[in-house]
Amino acid sequence: MPYDTAPDGVLESLLGHARSAGADAADASLSISESLSVDVRMGEFEGVERSESRSVGLRAFIGKKQAGATTSDLSPDGLKALAERVVAMAKFAPEDPWCGLLDPSERATSFPDLDTSDDARPDADTLEAMAKDAENAALAVAGVTNSSGSGASWSAGSVFMRTSDGFSGASRASSYGVGVSPLAERDGKKERDWDGHNTRHFSELRKPADIGRTAGERAVARLGSRKIESCKAAVIFENRLAGSMVSPMLGAISGGAIARGVSFLKEKLGQQVYAKGVNIEDDPFRKRGLSSRPFDGEGAPGQRRLLIDDGVLTTWLLNASAARQLGLKSTGHATLGHGGPPGISSTNVTLQPGTRSLAELMKDAGKGLLITDKFSPSLNANTGDWSVGVSGFWFENGERAYPVSEITVAGNLIDIFARLVPGSDLDRRGGVDAPSVLIDDLTIAGV
């Protein structure tokens, strides 16, 4: 199916069938995607996965009732059957006073070129060679004895969206990635670590050998890890993990959580949440950003904004439904429902860097815990009580002393946010990026 006129024809036909079946309003989307991934382990080919998919989604409204569904049958009969089925479902759906299309006055009218799509399509042999290069580089690090595997992949897709009241938009995106997880061993003790990289453009992907070497060195550095006694001390999350100190805030300011009253930040709009000087940006228009988009899932325009401005919480993240519940306007944070109600999501979120390097943060703290890996986080969404299993390095006199593991750090996020100090080593890795962050006097549960 060509990308120029055929998608609009499919969606217009689907919307026409919905109107004919009795829908008062509707939105429709067409998703086209393809991907290829290859996995290897210990130099041997493990598997290849190739996928291609095309599907249409329809959401139809009858008054304040809505229903939706998807199909991969894009034939004229398949589109007609989908429309009739969805409208029939909507007639028997419960009323939702907040549902409905976004007001046309709130829709995007221009679509910036975000350069999120690359036409490179490396074949399976190329991906296999990339995965092997990463793993071989990891295995070449002294002390690395095994591998959990390595992989390389790409994906590409297009989304087309139309509404019954005239909105039409399209976006395209691609993604390329390499990752490896080696194991190191000493005196019968084993440690594992990983490294990886994902980009929108193939040419910007880090060299697989560099990724493997870093992963191997990280695994070896963890050998000889020990437990520590429970205490309170300074804790630093290194930059590849520091986004985890921002993500809970994003969930807590989601309009759905605010409307339901299940957020530890529900009373904090316009108040100091982080320390002064802390700024957290949401930018849907970052060129080649992994979460960039020219419009949101309801056709609203995006906007670069500071979610946290000098420590102050400035906004909720809202789609149309949540905005109506709260008596506000959409903030352009809807995700495409593709046959269902839109969700809510941030875009490219960045905790803006401070002035001190990781080494300087450690020196300032004197002693404490540098966290380099985490697992099994737990959060009480109502209170902000939070804990997470971690491993990393104990440091003293501003220098790494020895690796540690089997530790839990815990606290209340409202208190933690207020004491968070960002470093200068911002590393863009995904949709939520941050430099290393220092939090003083955090509870550490060890032995």
pLDDT score of 7: 81
Round to whole Å and give the CA distance between 38 and 361.
Answer: 39
Round to whole Å and give the CA distance between 213 and 210.
Answer: 5
φ and ψ of 25, to 5 deg: -160, 165
Question: If you search the block for the tokens 């919480």, which residue do you land on?
Answer: 313
Which two tokens mark 26? 């509707």
Check pLDDT > 50 for residue 44.
Answer: yes
Query: Which among 233, 243, 323 is positioned nearest to 280, based on CA atoms?
Result: 243
CA 310 to chain centre: 24
Average pLDDT in the 411-439 region? 95
pLDDT one-digit tens code per residue, 70-90: 999 999 999 999 999 999 999
CA 150 to chain centre: 22
- pTM, full prediction: 0.94
pLDDT one-digit tens code per residue, 296-320: 999 999 899 999 999 999 999 999 9
pLDDT score of 6: 63
pLDDT score of 8: 78
Q: Is there a contact between 183 and 145 (Cβ–Cβ < 8 Å)?
A: yes
- The CA-based angle 71-77-79, given to 5 degrees, is 40
Looking at the chain, the whole-number percentage of residues with pLDDT higher than 90 is 95
- The CA-based angle 404-407-411, given to 5 degrees, is 130
Average pLDDT in the 211-229 region? 96
| Residues contacting residue 146 through CB under 8 Å, at least 6 positions apart | 42, 182, 183, 185, 190
Burial of 13 per CB tally in 10 Å (0-12, 13-18, 19+):
middle
Say how many C-beta atoms besides its own lie within 10 A of residue 402's C-beta: 12
pLDDT one-digit tens code per residue, 364-414: 999 999 999 999 899 999 999 999 999 999 999 999 999 999 999 999 999
Q: Is there a contact between 151 and 36 (Cβ–Cβ < 8 Å)?
A: no
Q: Is there a contact between 192 and 181 (Cβ–Cβ < 8 Å)?
A: yes
**Partner residues linked to 51 by β-bridges:** 35
pLDDT band at residue 3 under the 50/70/90 scheme: very low
pLDDT band at residue 2 under the 50/70/90 scheme: very low
pLDDT score of 430: 85
Mean pLDDT over each residue of the chain, to the nearest integer = 96
pLDDT one-digit tens code per residue, 148-181: 999 999 999 999 999 999 999 999 999 999 999 9
> Hey, what domains does the chain have and what are their CATH numbers?
6-36+48-103 (3.30.2290.10), 124-221 (3.30.2290.10), 225-447 (no CATH)
Q: Is there a contact between 282 and 331 (Cβ–Cβ < 8 Å)?
A: no
**Partner residues linked to 172 by β-bridges:** 158
Say how many C-beta atoms besides its own lie within 10 A of residue 34's C-beta: 16
Say how many C-beta atoms besides its own lie within 10 A of residue 176's C-beta: 23
pLDDT score of 4: 37
pLDDT score of 5: 39
pLDDT one-digit tens code per residue, 103-133: 999 999 999 999 999 999 999 999 999 999 9
Question: Which strand ranges, in their side-by-side order, compose the sheet holding 432-433?
Answer: 312-313, 305-309, 280-283, 348-351, 432-433
Round to whole Å and give the CA distance between 211 and 392.
Answer: 19
Query: Which H or E run includes 256?
Result: helix 255-260
Average pLDDT in the 267-279 region? 97
